[in-house]
Structure 1
Amino acid sequence: MFSEEEIKVIAEKHGDFRVIDWKVVKINEPLIGYLAEHLKLIITVETNRNISELNCFVKCVPRFDRDKAQYIVENGFFKKEYTMLNTLFKEVGGDEGPRQWRPKVLYIKPELFVFEDVTELGYTTPYYEHCLTEAEIFAAVEAVARFHAQSYIYEERKSELLKRPYRLWEDFSEYFQEPSQMAWRHTGMKAVIDVLKTYSKHKTAPGFDKRLDETIYKLCNDAVELTKPSSTVRNAVVHRDLWTNNIFLKSDERGTHALLIDFQTVLYCSPMLDISSLLYFNTTRSFRERFLDKILNFYYDMLSQELRQANIDVDTVFDKAALLKDYTKSILFGIIQAALIVPVGSMNMKDKLKIFDNPDTFYQINEVSRSVEIIEVASREHLYRDRVLEIFDELVERFVLI
C-alpha cells in the first residue's frame, strides 16, 4: 500500500525519525465506517538509539469488497473528501492547536488517506446505541462552529484578495452537491413507511397509511432541496453526516473536546443543516426541547469567537436572527437524515454486521429494501424500537398529520 518514500514522508510529520520497518493491520473494531476500509499503519522508528512505534489511521477504498468499492467510486465520495483535504482544508487549518476540530492529515492520495491516530491522544467515538450527553453535544457543537467558521474566513480573505465578493461555490460547486444516485434514500424512506405502519402510535388514525404513502417521499425530496445553496442565509461547507461514527470525543480536567471526521459527503448550504442533523442523530426529543435555544446561542457565540480570531466582524457575515430562524427550516433535513441513519447506526452490532456488512446483501439492503430487517430487530429490541419510533413519530406529527 505504501512505498518507502511515502512512509518516510509520514514519519517526518511526527518528527526527526529514521524508519526501520512498517506494517498495515486491520482495525479490530467492526463497522467503524460504512463507506471505506479502515486500517492502522504502524511505523517502527529510531531516534537517539531509541526504538519506538508511530501509529497512524488509514482510510481507503475497500480493497476486497468490489460492490462497496464500486458504490463509493460511482457516487464520488472519496473524490469529494480528497478535494476537501488536499485543497480547501489545507488553507483553512483546524487540524492542530487548542481550537482543533479535525484530525491532522499526514499523507493523502486519491483513494487513500493517512491521519494521526487520535485514539493515541485519548479520543474515542461515542457508543452508537446511546445518545450523547449534554457535555458531549456542546463539545460537538463547538467543533461544528469552528468548522463552519473556516468557510467564512476563507471567503472573506479571498474576497479581499480579489477585491470582490467571493464564494466557495465558484471553485468547488461540483463537489458540494448530493450524488445523483438516490436509491439508498428511497430504500431508507420505504423502511420509514413500513415501520410506521407497523409500530407508530398514530397508525390507527383515519387514512394514516394513505397519508404516509402520499407524503413521505415528497418530504424526502424537500429535504434534499435544502442541501442546495441557501438564498436566505450565508452558506458554509457543512458536514451533513454528524452521527456517532463521525465524532471523536475526549474528556479530561479541562472539559470535553470533539473532533469531526469523514468529510466525504460535504455540502455548501445553510450551516443550520449540520446543527439540526447533529441533534436529531444524537439526542432525544426531550433534550432538544429543553436545550435548543441554549445550543443555538452557544453555536452563534463560538462561530463569532472564531471569526473574531481572524479579525472578521461577525455582523458583516450573517444576521443572527436570520441564522437562528433558519434552524426551523432545517428541521426537515435533520429529521429525514435521522430517519435514514439512526435505524442503522443505533442497531446492536451483531444485527448490524449480519445485515449491513454482508457483501452478498449489500445491494439488496442499500438499493431495494431494509424494512423486514429493521422491523424484525425492533420486534425484540425495545430500546432500539423506542429510539427509532421517537424520530419517526415526530416526523409524522410535524409534517404528515398536519
Structure 2
Amino acid sequence: MELFSEDDINFILEQCTKSKSLNWHITEYSNTLVGYLGEHLSLIVDTDIGRNFFFVKCVPRFDQWKANYLRETSFFDKEYIMLSTLFKKFRDNDGLRIWRPKLLYIRKDLFVFEDVTQLDYTMPSNTSTLSYDEIMATVASLARFHAQSYIHEEEQSMLLCRPYSLWDDYAEYLSEPAKGVAWRETGMRAAIDFLKVYSEFRSKNDFVKLIEDRIPELFSIADDLMKPSTKYRNAVVHRDVWSNNIFFKKLENGNTHALIVDYQTVLYCVPTIDLSSMIYFNTTKKFRLENTNRMIDYYYEVLSDELELENIDKTSIINKCDFVKSYTESLVFAMTQAALIVPIIAMSADKRKEVFENPEICAKINEVSRSQEFIEIAKESKTYRIRVIELLDDLVETFLINNKQ
C-alpha cells in the first residue's frame, strides 16, 4: 500500500508551491538513526518547476514492536492531537521567531513537514554536548514555544470571560501515559547500577544503601513535577529537548537559530522542567556552573518579549523571582530525567543502531533491564563513560551528599 495518493501529494505542494507534481518517491531520511520510535522518511517530489524535499514521520511500517509500543503509550496520538488541533491555534511567528518546522500534511499515522535541511538547518551530533551559541538558540526557541501556551490561555480567558486552562481540553493528551512507568523504572535501575560500578563516590560508607534508598525518592518527586502545578503557571512542555530533537542554522550575522521538533512526549506542567532538563541533556557540569544564570536570564527575557508583543504583562504569568525558584525546584526532574536520557543519547551511531533496530534488544531495554548494556558500553568507550558518570555523580552530589532535597 502506498503511503500517499496523488491527491495527497498535490495537497502538500499547494501548501508551499504553485507547482504541479510530475512524479514522486520516498526514501529513508537518513542512514543513521534519527529517532527511536517513529519511522522517518524523505518524500521527494519532482514538479514542473523543480524538485521538492519533505520530511515524513510515520508509525513504523515494518517494526511491529515499535508500532505497538507507540500505540500503547499514546505517544503518536499525543503528537497528532498537538499538531492537528492545539498547535494550529498557536502562532508560528515570522522570521527568527519561528520555533518549529512548518507542518504541511497530517493524518493519524503520518505527518509531513518541510525538510529544514533544505533551508541549511542541521542536526547536531548526539555524542557531543551543544555549544554556547546552540544552547542559547535553543533557550530562545523554548521560550517562544512556551509563550504560545500563555498567549492562547489569555486569549481564551478573555473570550470566555473566565480563567481558561489548556488542561480543561487536553488533559488526556498532556499527561504521562501509564505505559511510560516501566520505561522510567528500568532507566532508574540502570542509573543506580551504573553508579555502583563507576561513581567516584562508590567507596563512601553505605553508598549502595544511600543510592538504593534515595534515588527512587528523587524519581518520585520528579514524577510529581510532570503534573500540573498548583503553585506556578503551567504550559505545554516538550520534555525531550535533546540533540536529535533540535535543528540549528548558522545565520549570516554569525548568530544561531534553533528549531525544535518531535512533540510526542508533551506534558502540561511548569515550563522550567523543559529549560532545566534541556540544559542537563546537552551540557557539561562545567558549562552549567559557568552559564546557568545567563541561560535563565535569557529565557525570561525572550519569554517577556513574546508576551509583551501580545500586550500581556509578564508578571501576571510569573515574576522573575518566582521563575528562578521554579527553576531551582525543577532540578530534581532535570537531573533524574537526564539520568534516563543521557545514557541513551550518548551512544555512538553504530551502537544505537545495534540496540534500537533490534526488536528484542529494544523491547528489553525499554521495559526489562538496560543496566548491563550501559555498563558494557562504558567499558568500551571512555567518552561515553565520562559523560554519563559526570551527570550521575552530579545527581548524587547535589541531592544525596549535599542533601539539597
TM-score, shorter chain, exceeding 0.5? yes
SS in 2 for 1:127: coil
SS in 2 for 1:240: coil
SS in 1 for 2:4: coil
Are residue 258 (structure 1) and residue 258 (structure 2) matched?
A: yes
Question: Which residue does 1:103 correspond to in 2?
Answer: 101
- Residues in 2 aligned to 1:78 and 1:238: alpha-carbon distance in whole angstroms: 16
Q: 26, 35, 40: which is aligned to 2:28?
A: 26
Contact 1:44–1:54 at 8 Å: present in 2 too?
Answer: yes
Question: Which residue does 1:362 correspond to in 2?
Answer: 362
- The count of corresponding residues between Structure 1 and Structure 2 is 398
Deviations 1:230-263 (A, max 9, x none): 1121111110000100011111223100000000
Are residue 393 (structure 1) and residue 388 (structure 2) matched?
A: no
1:95: Cα distance to partner?
A: 6.3
- Residues in 2 aligned to 1:346 and 1:224: alpha-carbon distance in whole angstroms: 24
CA RMSD of aligned residues (A): 1.1
1:15: Cα distance to partner?
A: 1.6
- Residues in 1 aligned to 2:271 and 2:265: alpha-carbon distance in whole angstroms: 14
Are residue 194 (structure 1) and residue 196 (structure 2) matched?
A: no
Amino acid at match of 2:59: V
Question: Which residue does 2:134 correspond to in 1?
Answer: 136
Amino acid at match of 1:396: V
Question: Where does 1:292-371 land on structure 2 (aligned, <5 Å)?
Answer: 292-371=292-371
Contact 2:29–2:55 at 8 Å: present in 1 too?
Answer: no
SS in 2 for 1:209: helix
Contact 1:238–1:268 at 8 Å: present in 2 too?
Answer: yes
- Residues in 2 aligned to 1:314 and 1:95: alpha-carbon distance in whole angstroms: 19
Amino acid at match of 1:249: F
1:360: Cα distance to partner?
A: 2.5
Amino acid at match of 2:16: H
Unaligned stretches of 5+ in structure 1? none
Contact 1:32–1:38 at 8 Å: present in 2 too?
Answer: yes
1:266: Cα distance to partner?
A: 0.6
Amino acid at match of 1:5: D
- Residues in 2 aligned to 1:268 and 1:97: alpha-carbon distance in whole angstroms: 27
- Residues in 2 aligned to 1:215 and 1:317: alpha-carbon distance in whole angstroms: 34
Question: Which residue does 1:240 correspond to in 2?
Answer: 239
Deviations 1:67-95 (A, max 9, x none): 11100000001111011101111111226
Unaligned stretches of 5+ in structure 2? none
1:357: Cα distance to partner?
A: 2.0
- Residues in 1 aligned to 2:263 and 2:149: alpha-carbon distance in whole angstroms: 14
Change (3 A) 1:70 1:95: farther
Amino acid at match of 1:321: C
1:284: Cα distance to partner?
A: 0.7
Amino acid at match of 1:241: D
Contact 1:81–1:263 at 8 Å: present in 2 too?
Answer: yes
Question: Which residue does 1:90 correspond to in 2?
Answer: 88
- Residues in 1 aligned to 2:273 and 2:92: alpha-carbon distance in whole angstroms: 21
Contact 1:356–1:365 at 8 Å: present in 2 too?
Answer: no
Which 4+ runs in 1 deviate beyond 4 A? none
1:26: Cα distance to partner?
A: 1.1
SS in 2 for 1:15: coil
- Residues in 2 aligned to 1:78 and 1:28: alpha-carbon distance in whole angstroms: 21
Deviates more, 1:375-384 or 1:53-62: 375-384
Question: Which residue does 1:377 correspond to in 2?
Answer: 377
- Residues in 1 aligned to 2:59 and 2:52: alpha-carbon distance in whole angstroms: 23
Q: 107, 112, 115: which is aligned to 1:114?
A: 112
- Residues in 2 aligned to 1:95 and 1:262: alpha-carbon distance in whole angstroms: 18
1:96: Cα distance to partner?
A: 4.8
Amino acid at match of 1:343: P
